[in-house]
């Protein structure tokens, strides 16, 4: 099996948000989700931090000895290369979907126990057609049999139709949004669009929210919880 390693500079990201991602993981487990679609809003197309969130969730899963595979389906503009470096020659998702390689060549072992990664692969002239292909459907069906969790990273919502195509083949969705840059009305509109796919929506991960300065629900002043102002 091909081999990937997490970049040394990225290994210190886990502890910062462990409590929040544990709560998300609990929700996923309660919903009996196996194939999870990771969604983002168009505002994040330039943000490499989304790979950090993805990585943290995966690592927390692996602490519980859960066999997980991460599929990089953002085949137009992948950011995963900043977190993983190949140790051996690898192929990716587009190579498998185009029929130029088999699945075994695209599965990459990592230096994290129980984590397998399928990278996005070579740039394709027609990514939408690849995601609509029978090969993609067969891929997820196969991964479902061999892994406890399949996490599919998608392109940002609203830019291309790819995310909507992938949603039809997943058990649930999680949406990423940045505090201070996305209006509630926009989130509500996106939620309505997601509901039309028929895929269960687990919720929103609000990124870059400052609980100290915002004091949302007095959470930033947790020591005074329950006391009168």
- Measured CA distances, 42 to 152, 154, 203, 224 (Å): 17, 11, 17, 38
Average pLDDT along the chain: 73
pLDDT at 123 over 80: yes
DSSP conformation class of 155: P
Question: Given a cut of 90, is residue 118 above it in pLDDT?
Answer: yes
Residue 156 DSSP code: P
> Distance (Å, rounded) from C-alpha 28 to C-alpha 219?
24
Nearest to 161 by CA among 129, 135, 123, 189: 129
CA distance 55 to 112: 11
Show the DSSP H helices in the chain as ranges: 18-30, 49-63, 93-97, 103-106, 127-131, 134-146, 162-167, 184-195, 211-214
Query: What value does the mean pLDDT take over residues 210-225?
Result: 44
Alpha-carbon gap, residue 85 to 193, rounded angstroms: 36
Kindly give the residue spans of alpha helices, DSSP state H, lying in 48-205.
49-63, 93-97, 103-106, 127-131, 134-146, 162-167, 184-195
**Which 8-state DSSP code applies to residue 193?**
H
39-98, pLDDT tens digit by residue? Answer: 554 444 444 455 555 655 555 555 556 788 889 888 888 877 667 777 778 889 999 999
pLDDT the model gives residue 86: 78
- pLDDT of 31 over the 70 cut: no
Domains of the chain, first to last? 2-224 (3.40.50.300)
Helix axes of 49-63 and 18-30: crossing angle, nearest 10 degrees: 70
pLDDT number for residue 164: 80
pLDDT attached to residue 47:
46
pLDDT for 132: 93
pLDDT for 14 equals 52
The least confident of 47-56, 123-132, 206-215 is 47-56
The answer, yes or no, to whether residue 224 has pLDDT greater than 80, is: no
Query: pTM for the complete prediction?
Result: 0.73
Which residues touch 140 (CB under 8 Å, ≥6 apart)?
A: 35, 71, 150, 152, 169, 170
Query: What is the predicted pLDDT for the residue at 225?
Result: 31
């Amino acid at each position: 099996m091909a081999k990937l390693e997490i970049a040394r500079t990225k290994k210190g990201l886990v502890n910062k948000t462990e409590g929040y991602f544990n709560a998300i993981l609990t929700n996923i487990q309660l919903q009996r989700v196996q194939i999870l679609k990771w969604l983002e809003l168009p505002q994040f197309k330039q943000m490499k931090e989304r790979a950090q969130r993805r990585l943290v969730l995966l690592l927390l899963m692996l602490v519980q000895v859960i066999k997980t595979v991460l599929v990089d389906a953002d085949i137009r503009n992948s950011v995963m290369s900043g977190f993983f470096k190949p140790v051996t020659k690898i192929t990716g998702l587009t190579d498998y979907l185009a029929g130029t390689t088999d699945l075994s060549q695209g599965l990459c072992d990592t230096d994290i126990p129980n984590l397998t990664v399928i990278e996005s692969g070579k740039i394709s002239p027609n990514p939408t057609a690849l995601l609509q292909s029978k090969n993609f459907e067969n891929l997820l069906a196969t991964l479902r049999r061999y892994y406890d969790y399949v996490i599919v990273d998608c392109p940002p919502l609203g830019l291309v139709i790819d995310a909507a195509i992938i949603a039809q083949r997943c058990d649930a969705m999680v949406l990423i949004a940045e505090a201070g840059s996305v209006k509630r009305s926009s989130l509500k509109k996106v939620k309505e669009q997601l509901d039309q796919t028929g895929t269960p929506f687990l919720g929103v991960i609000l990124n870059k929210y400052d609980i100290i300065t915002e004091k949302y629900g007095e959470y930033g002043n947790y020591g005074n919880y329950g006391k009168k102002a």
